Amino acid sequence: MQRLHSSYPDGLPGLALILLRISVAGIPFAYEAERTILLKLPLLMALAFVVAATLFLGVLTTTSATAAVAVQGALVYFSHPRHLILSVLFSSLCVATAMVGAGYYSVDGSRYARKRVKLPARS
């Protein structure tokens, strides 16, 4: 996982990545039309919940954000089939999340980020 992302930023950039992950995770549930489609298609609803939970926690973020593109595409197709720009905007957020990664404040960051090792002082 370390080879996919050069760093796992902390501080303000890490907090900005949390906001990006939360916003991408919340997109399927933001509009009434998408919520109606999710209620009619339980398999898509289950997939949307799994993707949202993994993005929220930052677990396998690159894979989750890639799966979010498919969920967003399906939701826009079923709810707004003629709104191509909406699909492109939602998908671009998902792709940006996949490219940037989870950040330090995530499960991926705690598992795969580089750690500092303090050696005891020599006497």
The confidence band for 91, taking pLDDT boundaries of 50, 70 and 90, is confident
Q: Does residue 50 carry a pLDDT above 90?
A: yes
**Is residue 21, in this structure, part of any structural domain at all?**
no
Classify residue 62: in a domain, yes or no: yes
Q: Mean of the pLDDT values across residues 60-88?
A: 81
**12 is a domain residue:** no
pLDDT for the residue 54: 92
Two tokens, residue 105: 């404040």
- Tell me, yes or no, whether 38 lies in a domain: yes
60 vs 82, higher pLDDT:
60
Number of domains into which the chain is organized: 1
Print the domain residue range for 65. Answer: 28-111
Distance CA 42, CA 88 (A): 24
Identify the CA nearest to 52 among candidates 92, 24, 94.
24
Mean pLDDT of 7-20: 81
- The pTM of the full predicted model, rounded to 2 decimals, is 0.75
